[in-house]
A and B are shown apart, each in its own frame.
Chain A
Amino acid sequence: MDLQSTYHNDMNIITVAEARIDAAAAIRFKDRMRDVTSQGPAHVVLDLSNVTFVDSSGLGAIVAAMKQLGPEQRLDLAGLTPDVAKVFRLTRMDTVFVIHDNIIALKARATG
């Protein structure tokens, strides 16, 4: 699972460079998230703008990635594409995460 972590001032922005977080990818996603959140800023933002599909296994892996963070860390989401936004909305998990519409605006604010 290709995850790229970049630090923008006070944020660890993790970009998923693959199109699907599904049952076939969920465990590798969760393990890789542990690696890239083990250091760096406590404010973690998962950039999902390249991701076109998340199923319930992928959703569970994103929740698990948040739960495995330290108590001082937080996980936000950004750049949800339509089908990904739908799974968060239907399961009401959109109420659990802070969701940013636009990762580019978020990066600009972080570096500006």
Chain B
Amino acid sequence: MTLDGTPQEFTLTAVASELAVRDTLLAIRNRLAVHGVSEDTCGSVELAMAEALNNVVEHAYCDDGPRDIRLSVEIKPDRLCFQIIDGGAPLPDLSLPAGALPDNSGPRDALPEGGFGWFLIRDLTERVSYERRNGMNHLTLEFLRTAR
């Protein structure tokens, strides 16, 4: 993982793997804490970013060997902006999944073990957008500094 830029505006480049995602999340959280972002907001950012980055590792790059994820971070006075760029497969229909909450009303054997990722991303962000540009995925997540 490499980190470039200023404390307020920086880029991170990491290999697309689950362990590299873990390191990336810890690096982001350290940066946010230095800027006085609350623990609660840090937790929300870490969870949403974990879902977005693991989607890249597990879905966009699922058929290939390890490749890179590039992350641009802007820490603004009122909001936190993250852009994730990868060269993996596009999102289906080139659009953001609806992210409905999986049904947990059935018996134990029928309880959902997945499908929470996009629900959490949509629930935890102030704004999320997606663009496919020049064969790359650009996913932007924005949080208010006072996010829950």
Interface string of B36-48 (1 = CB under 8 A from A): 0001100110110
Report A-chain residues with C-beta under 8 Å of the C-beta of B51.
Answer: 55-56
Check A91–B120 contact: CB distance below 8 A: yes
Distance A67 CA – B117 CA, assembled complex (angstroms): 20
Report A-chain residues with C-beta under 8 Å of the C-beta of B18.
Answer: 22-24
Q: Which of B21, B43, B109, B116 contacts A23 (CB 8 A)?
A: B21
Report A-chain residues with C-beta under 8 Å of the C-beta of B57.
Answer: 23
Q: Which of A22, A53, A56, A67 contacts B111 (CB 8 A)?
A: A67
Q: Which of A23, A67, A82, A92 contacts B54 (CB 8 A)?
A: A23
Distance A22 CA – B23 CA, assembled complex (angstroms): 12
Distance A63 CA – B54 CA, assembled complex (angstroms): 19
- Consensus secondary structure, chain A interface: helix
Q: A23-B57, A63-B112, A91-B120 are in contact. List 6 more A-B contacts (CB 8 A).
A: A53-B25, A67-B108, A83-B43, A87-B47, A92-B104, A95-B104
Distance A57 CA – B21 CA, assembled complex (angstroms): 13
Interface residues of A (CB under 8 A from B): 20, 22-24, 53, 55-57, 59-61, 63-64, 66-67, 82-83, 86-87, 90-93, 95-96
B101 on the A face (CB < 8 A): yes
A60 in contact with B119 given A83-B46, A91-B101 (CB within 8 Å)? no
For chain B, give the interface size range: 20 to 34
Check A55–B104 contact: CB distance below 8 A: no
- In the assembled complex, the CB of A59 is this many whole angstroms from the nearest CB of chain B, namely 6
Report A-chain residues with C-beta under 8 Å of the C-beta of B104.
Answer: 91-93, 95-96
A83 in contact with B47 given A92-B101, A92-B104 (CB within 8 Å)? yes
Report A-chain residues with C-beta under 8 Å of the C-beta of B19.
Answer: 24
> What are the 5 A-B residue pairs with the smallest beta carbon separation, nearest first?
A24-B18, A83-B43, A60-B113, A56-B116, A55-B50
A87 in contact with B22 given A56-B51, A66-B108, A82-B39 (CB within 8 Å)? no
Report A-chain residues with C-beta under 8 Å of the C-beta of B46.
Answer: 53, 83
Distance A90 CA – B51 CA, assembled complex (angstroms): 14
Interface string of B1-45 (1 = CB under 8 A from A): 000000000000000001101100100000000000001100110
